[in-house]
Amino acid sequence: MKFKCNKNDLLICLSSVTKTASTKTTMPILEGILIETIGDKVKFTTNDLELGSEYVINAEIEIEGKIVVDSKMFNEIIRKLESEHITFELKESIFIIKSASGIFKLSTMNAEDYPKLPVFNVDNSIIIKQSIFKEMIKKTIFATSQDENRPVYTGALVTVEENILKIVAIDGFRMALRQQLLDSSNNFKAIIPGKTLSELTKILSDDEEQTVKIGVNRNQALFEMGNCIVVSRIIEGEFLNYNSVIPNEFETKIKIKTKQLLESLDRVSLFSREVSEKEKKAPIKILINMEGIEVSCISQAGDAKENIVSVVEGKELEIGFNPRYLIEALKAIENDEIILQFTTNISPMIIKEVHGNDYIYMVLPVKLRQD
């Protein structure tokens, strides 16, 4: 095996494909990257048996072949080389990397032992701009559950119905929903692991001209982005009928500056942290009156209180929240202003963007201690 390729092409490839290499496994070969020549191209593959990716780049192929080397070491070597072009050669189970300034030799693993990515036909697929899909994931991914005892909620429900793509994440305390109108009429439903979506945000481009093709079948999901392909398992199970839990009527509505609320919560929540292992986190209290809202917190560490002038409609209210659940949502919203909607102090609060219904975030309150 011997080939030569452009360093920049290889760096772009590795920035994508190394994201799906396994880092903690009892199978050392899964920590490797499969390198194989195909015609006048080289394909790089990583696979942790749940999530895998392939990336193809152009190369000058002198001798065909395939081999597996440690993904992390290979990536670090390439990034530190100064040469514009790099030559690779396999000699007696040693993978040799040649640059203008030096030679690096890596031990190898048998390519035949490396698990190939599954090849399958998708039942239904859509095409969407990478930048939009990336933004949709970022607005929902933080609401996926970390509880492995409820695996269905460690992923997000991705559906296409009546030309609308929806991503919904729920962890039992909150829900994030982002929807986008499409040109496609293909319908599908799949629960995509949170890990997959998280890694996709590192691969998807912000370039508004680039698209991603998303396809699913019964067990797997496929994401095609130019020269890169990502394959993921689908989580089996029944997702919550989220439409039935979203309130339709509200007693109080607030229009408020996103950044102002976020920064206030960030400061006041300093007093919400545990002072000792036995102490639980103190909730944030939001007191709503006709002038705006008062954000406060009292704990063993002390207390804090801030007032924010905002546009309030409806009844006055006092309600408590886990501050992290609010802060994570506000960080994902890029709009200057948002709408907060309340019913009672024991009912979910809704955060929406001022214009449209493309994004909805629902969070359950916590009970406040009565002094």
Residues 6+ apart with CB under 8 A from 195: 50, 51
Q: What is the mean pLDDT of residues 282-290?
A: 94
Task: Name the percent of the chain lying above pLDDT 90.
Answer: 83
| pLDDT tens digit sequence for 211-256 | 999 999 889 999 999 999 999 999 999 999 999 999 989 999 999 9
The architecture in CATH of the region 246-363 reads Box (3.70)
Instruction: Please tell me the predicted confidence (pLDDT) of residue 370.
Output: 67
Is the distance from CB of 222 to CB of 120 less than 8 angstroms? yes
Domain residue limits, the chain: 2-113, 124-243, 246-363
Global pTM reads 0.92
| pLDDT tens digit sequence for 182-207 | 987 788 999 999 999 999 999 999 99
Is the distance from CB of 254 to CB of 310 less than 8 angstroms? yes
Instruction: Please tell me the predicted confidence (pLDDT) of residue 44.
Output: 98
| pLDDT tens digit sequence for 1-27 | 999 999 999 999 999 999 888 887 788
| pLDDT tens digit sequence for 159-181 | 999 999 999 999 999 999 999 99
Instruction: Please tell me the predicted confidence (pLDDT) of residue 355.
Output: 86
Instruction: Please report which confidence band the pLDDT of residue 368 belongs to, taking 50, 70 and 90 as the band edges.
Output: confident
Instruction: Please tell me the predicted confidence (pLDDT) of residue 313.
Output: 96
Using DSSP's 3-state secondary structure scheme, residue 350 falls into: strand
Give me the chain's average pLDDT, please.
93
CA angle 48, 53, 59 (to 5 degrees): 130
Instruction: Please tell me the predicted confidence (pLDDT) of residue 80.
Output: 94
> 369 versus 334: which is more confidently predicted?
334
The one-letter amino acid at 18: T
Helix 7-17, helix 194-203: angle, nearest 10: 160
Q: What is the mean pLDDT of residues 299-314?
A: 93
Indicate if 246-363 has the same CATH topology as 2-113: no
Q: Tell me: pLDDT of 29 over 90.
A: yes
| pLDDT tens digit sequence for 91-149 | 999 999 999 889 999 999 999 999 989 887 888 899 999 999 999 999 999 999 999 99
Smallest CA-to-CA distance from 69 within 98, 38, 36 is with: 36
Residue 241 φ/ψ, nearest 5 degrees: -75, 85
Q: Tell me: pLDDT of 371 over 80.
A: no
Q: Tell me: pLDDT of 43 over 60.
A: yes
Phi-psi region of 95 (alpha: psi -120 to 50; beta: other; left: phi over 0): beta
Q: Which residues of 74-105 are buried (b: 16+ CB within 10 A; e: fewer)?
A: bbebbeebeeebbbbbbeeeebebbbeeeebe
Instruction: Please tell me the predicted confidence (pLDDT) of residue 183.
Output: 85
Q: Return the CATH number of the domain spanning residue range 2-113.
A: 3.10.150.10
Superfamily of domain 124-243: DNA Polymerase III, subunit A, domain 2 (3.10.150.10)
